Amino acid sequence: YAGARDQIRESLRRMQVDQIDLIQLHNLTDEEGWEEAFGEDGALRACLEARDEGLVRFIGVTGHGTQTARMHLRSLERFEFDSVLLPYNFAMMEQPEYAESFEELLEVCAAREVAVQTIKAVARRRWRQGEQPTTTTWYHAFEDPEDIERAVHWAFARPGIFVNTPSDGNLMREVIASAERFRERPPHEEMTTAWERLEARPLFYEGFEGVGRGAE
């Protein structure tokens, strides 16, 4: 609690603002971290205090990994979060268990008017061992504008979600430009063919739930 409380105030000071719109509990996907955040002296208490004081307007929760949607559902049973954030792209949704829990989460969020932010739309795969990253992202993103556009349009077509931009400046510009050209979702066959050609893989799968390089 004390650490989170101090970090909130320090962040406001550094940004030179009196209030922020959204504060998020980061990556609540493991049991220990989840219990700590929701505990009597956890980070959620600091967020609620900040909201009561007018320092923040909304409180959200984020996550990585294949269990994220399931954990978000659990979090929403514990507290009325204003938003959730989790991975959403073609490769991740080709994993049946993840897709099922994602759909369940969206249904709950729609009923409760909880905003759904999605990330990793243009993620191709993890960086391989020995590869030199060409972007500031921890993962290997699509590089060709056509591939980026295909990935963005696939995610952008989903009603009821936000598609967050990546942190890399060049990728961000490509994603925004692709979103402005959006018309419709690419067919499943086109996505499958492209992903096989590009050797695209889910960022998160059994044994690789956190950020980092792949096994290759």
Per-residue confidence (pLDDT) for residue 207, from 0 to 100: 80
Per-residue pLDDT for 216 more than 70?
no
Q: What is the mean pLDDT of the chain?
A: 96
Half-sphere exposure of 147 (CA within 13 A, CB side): 18
The percentage of residues in the chain with a pLDDT greater than 90, rounded to a whole number, is: 95
E strand or H helix at 78: helix 68-78
The average pLDDT across 41-59 equals 98
Integer angstrom CA distances of residue 53 from 13, 58, 78, 79, 185? 15, 12, 22, 19, 43
End-to-end CA distance of the chain: 40
- For residue 134, what are its two tokens? 């060409």
Q: Name 56's bridge partners.
A: 20
Band (206; pLDDT cuts 50, 70, 90): confident
Domains and CATH numbers, the chain: 1-118 (3.20.20.100), 120-203 (no CATH)
pLDDT beyond 70 at 20: yes
Of all residues in the chain, what percent carry a pLDDT higher than 70?
Answer: 99
Query: Does the pLDDT at position 208 exceed 90?
Result: no
Q: Compute the CA torsion angle 178, 179, 180, 181 (nearest 10 deg).
A: 60
Mean per-residue pLDDT, 131-137:
94
- Between CA 165 and CA 81 the distance in angstroms is 22
CA distance 26 to 11: 15
